[in-house]
Structure 1
Amino acid sequence: MSSEEYPFALCLTHDVDRPTKTYQAISGALGALGRGSPLRAGYHLRTLAANGDADPYWQFDRILDLETDLGVRSAFYFLDEPSLLRDAPESLASPRRWIEHAGRYDPTTGEIADVIRRLDDGGWEVGLHGSYGSPDDPTRLAAEKRALESVLGHEVSGIRQHHLRLDPATWRHHAGLGFDYDASLGLTDDVGFAYGYRTQEPLSGFQVFPLTAMEIAFPDPGDSYPAAIAACERLLGEAEREGAVFTALWHPRLFSEREFPGYSRLYRHLVERALEMGAWVGTPRAYLEEQPLGPLGGAGRATDSA
């Protein structure tokens, strides 16, 4: 198809922060008890013993089934947060690093490595979710990239930094390590095209996909699904008018209807409506390969984040 046949593009992405529910079960139970809900507290505590498909955060099959049903593919960015005791003992005094360490996983072993290979074999994109301390640490980034590539057996082209953290030199580090693009530029508390309607090229041959919408920045669909739908429709209409690249982020755990009601339904609506509107829908890597909207352009505002 020619570029004129696509009014806009929708790039689908998922950050795999915590594929299983661990310490969140305790905090959830305490919160439920504080609200006078012992049954809900009991539910959270039971999830501590859950594993595999029974774990409410392990939503890979649900996402793959949903996207296969819609005929689309997305990108999954996997996190390799360092072990404080083994890899980053200098961070033991940092409360923030302890929080990041809690619930960490090793993407090179076990079920998660199997999922990574399954995604890759099925046409989904696998990228790196740079760890909390990596934006200004190219040595750490290089180790994380090598570890993920050891599972895949080939290079990865995309990255998004954890918590969207960027340092003035982050993009230079990314480009120097062989990444083709970054998807970290964006907001966590609002949706919209704050950084422009197309990808940006801060370095020759290296592209940046501004984040248009993270799911938690929408009105909570569990509280007011019509408000969430209205925000979604507004963004899709703006994307169509501007010929934009709309990049969406949905964390896998939010596909759990029991834990986060409405978010999976909202995601399906977003994709279905984009397809109905004639949009190109796929992964950032596929967008760079196919150029469905024609030559890359940069309509974004200036930023000193990198």
Structure 2
Amino acid sequence: MSETSRSDRLSRVRHASSSVVDGRDRTVLVPSDDETGGQQFSRVKTLPDDAEFGLCLTHDVDRPYKGFRSLYYATQERPRYHLRTALSSSNPYWQFGELMALEDELGVRSAFYFLNEQHLLADRPVSEWVSPSNWVQHLGRYDITSDEISAVIRALDAGGWEVGLHGSYHSPTDRDRLREEKHALEEILEGSVTGGRQHHLRLSVPDTWHHHREIGLDYDTSLGSSTECGFHGGYRPLRPFDDEFIVFPLTIMDQALPDPGSSFEAARRICERLLTEAAENDAIMTVLWHPRYFNEQEFPGHRTLYRWLVERAQELGAWVGSPGAFCETLEDNGNQTPESRRADGTVDGTPSAASSAIVGDNS
């Protein structure tokens, strides 16, 4: 690599890893990859064997049931369609089978993060009942212990998908609540939960990561933006405590892209640019697609774009899988970090402190 190219690449890394702007235009600073940039986090140095870069696939299970939202959406657009979904026994947000079939066809596995949200009336203070935003948050609540949800969780796990924790809205600074949510999910799985993401990307840096590590999680994927796509957190996962705990910065959230239903090529071009940037910089790229977005009736283009993204990453020589599977590749190689030694792993990934303010929203 020429000195000019090396300088250009370093400049891009320094710029990319300076900060993350969340959904409410608040900024969380991320230490630079540049050795002269002051306070730093160490980073993961390895990639799965022979991979040009990594693509971690994740899905936040926020709202598996459409429910009362049908009535709200009917006041906004397509009233006949949304009223039919309100009266029908079918559930357009239940996309688990379709998503599993798609990923199985592509030869990949992803992570599904399940939300165990508190009940507004039963669990939260009376003072919060008067806030309309709190009602919006809690109307989507579902019971992970219900027969239907529990069956899906077990089916995902049995099929090789990762099941992880989607920390509830008020949990970023509540270690006991996070521990309870993790324990409840593990009881359903009859196994361990190793990572996840906070709901709405709400994160207290580094406090939430301390909580995650103390309750036994190996990684977190909450550092990111719901409004901007890019490598704002740098090209490689962070090790905020210089140990095995890993933070995967979020590169793409579905809702931060142009609407694929009306601007498919614009959305595809952004994905192509970021995939190319990942390949050029040996990056680990993490993406989030909410399961409900795979309903082509309500979110046209998202399923097609997701398929294209995975297939294009495979064409470019990426390792593709879940964050948990990526962590396993590091463990298989003794968690070694020198650039010259690369972790073992399958190509398809099939499983075998800057601020103390709450940051992130709008996922």
Instruction: Give the corresponding residue for 1:16.
Output: 61
Shift of 1:45: 1.2
Q: CA separation in 2, counterparts of 1:95 and 1:217?
A: 24
1:274 is aligned to: 313
1:253 aligns with 2:292: yes
Deviates more, 1:253-262 or 1:216-225: 216-225
Moved over 4 A (4+): 292-298
Indicate whether 1:100 and 2:137 are aligned: yes
Q: State the match for 2:355 in structure 1.
A: 304
Does the alignment pair 1:139 with 2:190?
no
Q: Is the 8 A contact 1:198 1:297 kept in 2?
A: no
What are the residue-to-residue correspondences of 1:1-306 with 2, within 5 Å? 3=48, 5-32=50-77, 40-51=78-89, 54-90=90-126, 91-168=128-205, 169-203=207-241, 204-291=243-330, 295-296=336-337, 303-304=354-355
SS of residue in 2 equivalent to 1:31? coil
Give the aligned residue type for 2:218.
D
SS at match of 1:275: helix
Number of residue-to-residue matches in the alignment = 293
For the residue of structure 1 that corresponds to 2:181, the secondary structure is helix
Deviations 1:211-236 (A, max 9, x none): 00001111111111111111111010
Determine the C-alpha separation between the residues in 1 that align with 2:93 and 2:336: 39
Structure 2: unaligned runs, 5 residues or longer: 1-46, 340-352, 358-363
1:94 Cα deviation from its structure 2 partner: 3.0
Residue deviations 1:282-302 (CA, integer Å, cap 9, x gap): 00011011139995589xxx8
Deviation at 1:98, TM superposition (A): 1.4
Percent pairwise identity: 55
TM-score normalised by structure 2 residue count = 0.77
Indicate the structure with greater helix content.
1
Matched position secondary structure for 2:200: helix
Greater mean deviation of Cα atoms: 14-23 or 2-11? 2-11
Aligned alpha-carbon RMSD (Å): 2.0
Q: TM-score, normalised by structure 1?
A: 0.91
Q: Which moved more, 1:81-90 or 1:12-21?
A: 81-90
SS of residue matched to 1:104: coil
Deviations 1:64-93 (A, max 9, x none): 000000000000000011112222244323
1:155 to partner: Cα distance = 1.5
Shift of residue 41 of structure 1?
Answer: 0.3
Change beyond 3 A, Cα 1:161–1:48: same
Tell me, which stretches of 5 or more residues in structure 1 are unaligned? 33-39
State the alpha-carbon separation in 2 of the partners of residues 280 and 182 from structure 1. Answer: 19
1:278 is displaced (CA, Å) by: 1.2
Change (3 A) 1:164 1:252: same
In 2, Cα distance between equivalents of 1:85 and 1:252: 27
CA–CA distance in structure 2, aligned partners of residues 238 and 305 of structure 1: 31
Give, in angstroms, the shift of residue 3 of structure 1.
Answer: 4.3
- For residue 86 of structure 1, give the secondary structure of its aligned residue in structure 2: helix
More off after superposition, 260-269 vs 289-298: 289-298
Show CA shifts across 1:83-141 (max 9, x none): 12222244323332211110210111121110000000000000010110000111111
